[in-house]
Amino acid sequence: MSQVFLPGAVLGVLGGGQLGRMFALAARRMGYRVTVFAPDDDTPAGQIADREIRAEYEDLAAVEQFAREVDVVTFEFENIPAATAEAAARHVTVRPAGTLLHQTQDRAREKRALTERGLPVATFAIVTTDADLEPAARTVGCPAILKSTAWGYDGRGQRRVMRVEDVAAQWRTLDSQPCVLERFVPFVAELSVVGARGSDGEIVLYEPFQNRHRDHILDVTVCPAPISSRVREDALAIAREVLTRFEVVGVLCVELFLLADDSLVVNEFAPRPHNSGHVTIDAHACSQFEQQVRAVCGLPLGSTERTVPAAAMVNLLGDLWDGGTPNWTAALADPRVRLHLYGKQDARSGRKMGHLSVADTTAEAAERRALDARSALSGSRKAPAWTGR
């Protein structure tokens, strides 16, 4: 029988960002204690946790000491070094397993793993040397996207390649580091499915969400996604397969491209809660963060039922602070608007500072209200200007 960690246990979190913050909020509400390990102090997660340990992820002695003082460990983003997860696992259960981190930290490994498991992905080729460029370009064709295999998120480390003869030049702009060259997918919509798998193999899935990005950063998520029942079932089946085949214990999000013929292609997956899943906090019976607590602790998983007719979530980036503190009063004048801020002190351009969510009778109406509320933030500024530190 798998190990169960009951309320009162100490949950260790590798990473101090907003995903860890919302996990800690859910965990503390359920009666758990939380210790955060991160290379900074006063982190978004650390502000909520019972204890915050500041040390570098590469400081494996500190990691092992952290692991000895908690009952189970999870992570809040996938760019934790695999060696860090391995060091923690020598002393305590880590969920999801560090081996999953190893696969998802590298796009080449991730693409190969998806292909080996029969999941649909765009045509791709691996580029590690100059000799790989020509055969990769012939295999994939153009237009294509050249993506660095490591440390890529929110559009970082990506270049669009319109002509085969441009592949080499674009590769050099990425410092000739290992890359995946991937055929451009002419998608009509971007979808995501968030799900959770327990240590006993139980799986729950949220309905597919539709996402729109701006400058490669998620901008708006709506649910339910305006898709056919067939697409809905196909998306759920793919997510279930990923959770099962990779033996995930925890929360996972699968990002999908919907094509004009209603087929789906997996873009990538993340073994953690996802930005698009923030809508579950206010729109579903059990949020993705409570699901993460339940799965990591070996508890039965919660309901993924939507409790409102429709909902939308919009991100709040640091750019909104350019003219001073946003006008929170104006945005919250709509009583359906829910504000979530992440406790970050430095409002930088493109940095995710928080989000707004709105429930309404239709996804279109919810999105309109959410966008209107965000626009109101840039209106007359009555509060003192953001000072930062």
CATH number for 197: 3.30.470.20
CATH code: domain of residue 68: 3.40.50.20
- Token reading at 226: 């305006």
| pLDDT value of residue 382 | 44
Cis preceding linkage at 96, omega within 30: yes
Domain boundary (183, 207, 230) is at 183
Which DSSP letter does residue 284 get?
A: B
Same domain, 158 and 227: no
Residue 351: pLDDT over 90:
yes
Is 13 a residue whose pLDDT tops 70?
yes
DSSP-based three-state secondary structure for 280: helix
Q: Are residues 162 and 199 in the same domain?
A: no
**What tokens does 15 get?**
């990473």
How much is the average pLDDT of 358-377? 98
State the pLDDT confidence band at 192, using cuts at 50, 70 and 90: very high
- Which of 183, 199, 225 is at the close of a domain? 183
Q: Tell me, what's the pLDDT at 152? A: 58
What's the average model confidence in pLDDT over 110-136?
Answer: 92
* Cα–Cα distances in angstroms (integers) from residue 91 to residues 62, 67, 73, 83, 321, in the given order: 12, 6, 10, 13, 43
Looking at residues 159-187, what average pLDDT do you find?
Answer: 90
In a domain, residue 311? The reply is yes
Q: Which residues contact 112 (CB under 8 A, 6 or more apart)?
A: none
**Number of domains the chain is built from:** 3
Residues 277 and 312 in one domain: yes
> Domain span at residue 76?
10-94
My answer on whether 24 and 62 are in the same domain is: yes
**What integer is the mean pLDDT of 102-126?**
91
The CATH number given to whatever domain includes residue 128 is 3.30.1490.20
Contact indicator for 138, 127 with CB cutoff of 8 Å: no
* Predicted confidence (pLDDT) per residue in 231-266, tens digit: 999 999 999 999 999 999 999 999 999 999 999 999
Q: Do both 350 and 234 map to the same domain?
A: yes
Residue 55 — left, alpha, or beta (φ > 0 → left; ψ -120 to 50 → alpha)?
beta
Residue 230 CB neighbours (<10 A): 9
Average pLDDT over residues 142-146: 91
Q: Tell me, yes or no, whether 383 lies in a domain.
A: no
Q: What percent of the chain has pLDDT over 90?
A: 80
Same domain, 152 and 221: no
Read off the amino acid at residue 246: F
Is residue 106 assigned to a domain?
no
Residue 35 belongs to some domain of the structure: yes
First CA to last CA distance, the chain: 49
* Same domain membership, residue 231 and residue 143: no
Asked if 22 contacts 281 with a C-beta cutoff of 8 angstroms, the reply is: yes
DSSP 361: S
pLDDT beyond 70 at 140: yes
Q: Is 107 inside a domain boundary?
A: no
Q: How does DSSP assign 177-230, residue by residue?
A: --EEEEEPP--SEEEEEEEEE-TTS-EEEPPPEEEEEETTEEEEEEES-S--HH
Q: What is the pLDDT of residue 149?
A: 86
Q: Please tell me the predicted confidence (pLDDT) of residue 383.
A: 38
Residue at 220 is within a domain? yes
Band of pLDDT at residue 151, cut at 50, 70 and 90: low
User: What is the token pair recorded at 7?
Assistant: 């309320």
Question: Is the model's pLDDT at 2 over the cut of 80?
Answer: no
Interatomic CA distance for residues 242 and 312, integer angstroms: 26
Question: Considering 94, 110, 132, which residue would you say is the last residue of a domain?
Answer: 94
Instruction: Kindly state the average pLDDT of the residues 105-120.
Output: 91
Q: Are residues 60 and 132 in the same domain?
A: no
The dihedral of CA 316, 317, 320, 321: what is its sign?
Answer: positive
| Burial class, 332, CB count within 10 angstroms (exposed 0-12 / middle 13-18 / buried 19+) | middle
The pair of three-digit structure tokens given for residue 72, joined into one six-digit string: 């189970």
Q: What is the DSSP string of 100-141?
A: HHHHHTBHHHHHHHHHHTT--B--EEEE-SHHHHHHHHHHH-
Residue 226 and residue 369 in one domain: yes
Q: Residue 385 falls within a domain, yes or no? A: no
110 domain-assigned? no
Does residue 247 share a domain with residue 339? yes
User: Residues 152, 199: one domain?
Assistant: no
One domain for residues 221 and 370: yes
